[in-house]
Structure 1
Amino acid sequence: MSVYLDCNATAPIDPAVAAVVTKYLIKEFGNAGSRTHDFGTRAKQAVEKARQQLAQVVSTGKDEVIFTSGATESNNLVILGLAPEGEKTGKKHIITTAIEHKAVLEPCEALEKKGFEVTYLKPGSDGRIKPEDLADALRDDTLLVSIMHANNETGAIQPLAECLELLKTHDAYFHTDAAQSFGKIPKTLENKRIDFISVSAHKLYGPKGVGALIARKRGYKRPPLSPIMFGGGQEKGLRPGTLPVHLIAGLGEAAEQALQNQAQRKEACLKLKDEALSALSELNPRYHGADNALAHTINFSVPGINSEAAIVALKGIAAVSNGSACTSQSYTLSHVLTAMDMPQEEIMGAIRASWCHMTETVDWSAIVRALKELL
């Protein structure tokens, strides 16, 4: 049976999280909006506990946590939800990067069609953007800066601390898509200058279909978000619909487990990474975004090997990918690797392997043998 090495697409659910999801799916199935009986009260309590569990990961208030269907919705809520404020104030400039997830890039493109101007920062060959490029791009009419925390394809961790330092004297809102990093990289997301943090449960060993937007107050004032969906008024009027209590409780448990076990999980991932780098070295691979990268991700290409052929050759051995799961059906060149100015041959050969603390032993030698047969 092949080993699963595609955790950046989706990760396995933690057993403790699965137990919580099952409890609130089957036994405690009440609606958190029902105020007339104990079932609703217990559901509401579960939601509020989860809100607190998420808030603790980034040292913020639980009233700043808004539950969504995932990081994609959270990203859209920030970018599209700030647009009315931009139109009202005349601040219609957005800064983002060329390596963002499509859930950031496409809402930005939608606003460009409505008269907003978007600056796309390009990364260096290491997959990281340069803070000085952000400094050059900032303008008086900049409404929002959106820079992901860690890239889903390369694992490259972006220099958020330096970027936030540049924004100390600027009032632009700052958003980070932390789908790949929330609960995995301590401290950075605690920075109060980050106004918005997008969270995805299924990248944190939780259930699919739920996530959160952390929207920090400035002083006592909430950020001026407008809803992009209507009907019901849940989540401070920003995210209508009956709350999926079982999923939210699962996300809360996943956040708590992450907070408690960050160090041990990272150590386990780094051990696997060292084994991978050692075994793959005989192929003389070219790594993409290897420096300052997540402990559980490598992106590499081997001269003479096409990634599609490699994925087929590795069937039954290892489940890997050649980019984002959201765009894997399109067979277009990776926009992330293209933005890094990599040669087309390397992009066509790029393989992403991503794992987690629950990943079983990986037979890297078998992976190397399978890839060698393609040369």
Structure 2
Amino acid sequence: MTALGWVRAVVAYLDVAATTRVDPRVAEVVLHWMTEDFGNAGSRTHEYGARAKKAVQQARTFLAGTVGAKPEELIFTSGATESNNIALLGMAPYGEKSGRKHIITSAIEHKAVIEPLLHLKEAKGFEVDFLEPGPSGRVSKEAVLEKLRPDTLLVSLMHVNNETGVIQPVAELAEVLRKTPTFLHVDAAQGYGKVPQDLTAPIDLISISGHKVGAPKGVGALVTRRRGWDKAPLEPIMFGGGQERKLRPGTLPVPLIMGLYEAAKDFQENRSRWERDARRMREELLAALGRTRFQINGDVEHSVPHILNVTFDGLNAEALIVRIKDQVAVATGSACTSASYTPSHVLTAMGLPDDVATNGLRFSWFPSQVADFDPDELAATVAYMQPHAT
């Protein structure tokens, strides 16, 4: 029994796109900054605060460097959702003042991007183009550029789709948009650390989430890259201290920031091994599923190695999840919308039929966080269910 009275079952965890386990070494770092070096980074009158401030600056410098940015171009937030809101809503006043109220995005974005943009559309009169990617799940650079106008303020395109794992052409777009007045925002919640070379491109605004790379929940960052000497014209959406360049108020959560720093360092040092092991696991899973009838949803040639979205012919995804819940933990899509049984907005935007979009199943894994997973056992269960499906 755990302290809360729950029995911990041995179930293979294949839902890292929702969240990852905090590594024990990361947890130790967090605990240290909670119980020993517990000072407020904003306190200037004693050593406790000075140590905290120095540690935060060390973390800021490292994390900014992972995306080719300068330390002063990164602010800490509670995660990618807050970073997205600061980026999108914070650009709106400049758009209103300059008369540039057109935004381009995709129909497969996370709700943390779609909903702020819908707010700008409905409450502020912005015009928002939601591009559909087609069956590949990949929005083309050409489709974005075709929509570009003189009054286009911003393009917001995710790095890696959270349901399909498909990588979007953000680096290619950055190179083009950098030569125009249009800014580029990238929600990199799923891609940060996994496809690092993309994020070193000259992207204006990058949202980062800690708990997708083994850090605690509740911490992330927003990179606001300069264009020459010019800062991104962001205005704050919250007030109360302005600790982070007056864009994000509130006492800095030093333990969480140091947890993100430690997790990101570990991920960077071990990324090659992680990628190799993730690809091997993908191959083993697909080989086992070869005895079933299924389709992969999304472009396998432009995908991260640790996310796979499939629909099994004739099977209801929810029924399958119930059947395999003692074998493996998986999801039908974003954790933020998993309570809804409507078709996935991502798979629907890809033009897939309702029965495919409703029954897409997302497998996502870090090899080091998977215990006792037997892909052959999973495949056997699916293969048994398919002939018996009604």
TM-score bracket, shorter-length normalisation: over 0.9
Distance 2:71 2:324 in 1: 44
1:373 aligns with 2:384: yes
Letter in 1 for 2:339: Q
Equivalent in the alignment of 1:283: 292
Structure 2 distance, partners of 1:25, 1:259, is 25
Does the Cα contact within 8 Å between 1:86 and 1:92 map onto a contact in 2? Answer: yes
Find runs of 4+ consecutive structure 1 residues off by over 6 angstroms.
none
Matches within 5 A, 1:49-88: 49-88=58-97
Give the drift of 1:59.
1.7
Bigger shift: 195-204 or 284-293? 284-293
Does 1:2 pair with 2:11?
Answer: yes
Partner AA of 1:42 in structure 2: R
Summarize deviations over 1:310-343 as a string: whole Å, max 9, x none. Answer: 1001111000000100001122211000000101
The CA RMSD over aligned residues, in Å, is 1.1
Pairing 1:169–2:179 present: yes
Cα separation, 2, equivalents of 1:4 and 1:109? 34
Correspondence for 1:101 among 94, 106, 110? 110
Aligned twin of 1:198 = 207
Contact 1:5 1:318 (C-alpha < 8 Å) held by counterparts? yes
Matches within 5 A, 1:111-122: 111-113=120-122, 114-122=124-132
Name the SS of the counterpart of 1:9 in structure 2. Answer: coil
- Whole-Å separation in 1 of the counterparts to 2:283 and 2:51: 45
How many residue pairs end up in the alignment?
A: 374
Contact kept in structure 1, 2:164 and 2:309, CA below 8 Å? yes
Does the 8 Å contact 1:57/1:256 carry over to 2?
A: no
2:239 aligned with 1:226: no
| TM-score normalised by length of structure 2 | 0.94
2:47, 2:210 → 1: CA distance? 27
- Residue identity opposite 1:197 in structure 2: I
> Could you report, residue by residue, the CA deviation over 1:276-324 in whole angstroms, capped at 9, with x for unpaired residues?
1110111131001133111101000111101000100111100000010
Please list every run of 5 or more consecutive structure 1 residues that lacks an aligned counterpart in the other structure.
none
Q: Which residue, 235, 249, 265 being the options, matches 2:258?
A: 249
Describe the SS at the equivalent of 2:385: coil
Classify the secondary structure of the residue corresponding to 1:283: coil
1:320 lines up with 2:330 in the alignment: yes
Which residue, out of 307, 312, 316, partners 1:302?
Answer: 312
**What is the match of residue 273 of structure 2?**
264
Give the superposition deviation at 1:357.
3.3
3-state SS, counterpart of residue 120 of structure 1 = strand
| Aligned 8 A contact 2:30 2:258 in 1 | yes
- Residue aligning to 2:133: 123
Unpaired runs of at least 5, structure 2: 1-9
Conserved? CA contact 2:175–2:201, under 8 Å = no
SS at match of 1:374: helix
Amino acid at match of 2:330: V
Identity %: 51
3-state secondary structure, aligned to 2:333: coil
Q: Verify the 8 A CA contact 1:174 1:196 in the aligned structure 2.
A: yes
1:372, distance to aligned residue in structure 2 (A) = 2.4
> Which among 164, 168, 175 is matched to residue 154 of structure 1?
164
Partner of 1:237 in structure 2? Answer: 246
Distance 1:208 1:168 in 2: 32
SS of 2:211 mapped into structure 1: helix
Q: Distance in 2 between matches of 1:231 and 1:123?
A: 40
Q: Select 1:35's aligned residue among 13, 25, 44.
A: 44
1:24 aligns with 2:29: no
C-alpha separation between the residues in 2 aligned to 1:216 and 1:184?
Answer: 20
